Amino acid sequence: MFVEPNFENISYTNSARRGWVEVICGSMFSGKTEELIRRINRAKIAGQKFQIFKPEMDTRYHDENVVSHNSNFLPGIPVASASQILSLSENFDVIAIDEIQFFDGGIVNVINELANNGKRVIVAGLDMDFLGNPFGCMPQIMAIAEFVTKVHAICVVCGNPASYSFRLNPNNSKILIGETENYQARCRKCFLDGMKNNVD
């Protein structure tokens, strides 16, 4: 069982600053962004300076805000590439990055550099693509993280815990940004059943 450390009580004095990486991963509709927002709100209460980033391509709910499926949000900065995050993070204690799987390969080095410089880095994203394969740089990011939390949705077919994002749209592009019109959360069995039916 995951027990979240009491990050809010850690001192961020220049003489004793410690950085680390937290990953929140799971399928579509599992509450990844909701959990990221919850952690940032707690950091805000603790008086820590924070900044949130998201990929420029993610405009589903808002051009700038980071928004969860149940409409909670915090203001964010959309960026076109991972390298932009470094220059925009200098004056903050906590850096949050949503939809991490959509960033270019340089995001791993960016996250490492931020943590090495004493920042708390919280990232959220899909760990698997619509084929059930590891998504982008997520495996590398999970490997360098101090803390990894996997959250689960509810399978829309059978009601069991879901960890797969089943694509309803026949589009085979690896990246297809969408919501319930394009995706369903499914458990392993219902995901495999759906993939088999798509092939038959």
DSSP characters over the chain: ------GGGS---GGG---EEEEEEESTTSSHHHHHHHHHHHHHHTT--EEEEEETT--SS-SSSEE-TTS-EE--EEESSTHHHHHT-TT-SEEEESSGGGS-TTHHHHHHHHHHTT-EEEEEEESB-TTSSBPTTHHHHHHH-SEEEEE-EE-TTT-SEE-EEEE-S----S----STTTEEEE-HHHHHHHHHHHH-
Q: Which residues of 7-34 are buried (b: 16+ CB within 10 A; e: fewer)?
A: beebebeeeeeebbbbbbbbbbbbbbbb
Instruction: For residues 104 and 84, give the distance between their C-alpha atoms in angstroms, rounded to a whole number.
Output: 11
Tell me whether residue 90 is one of the annotated catalytic residues.
no
Which of 4, 22, 56, 99 is flagged as catalytic? 99
Q: What positions carry a catalytic annotation?
A: 99
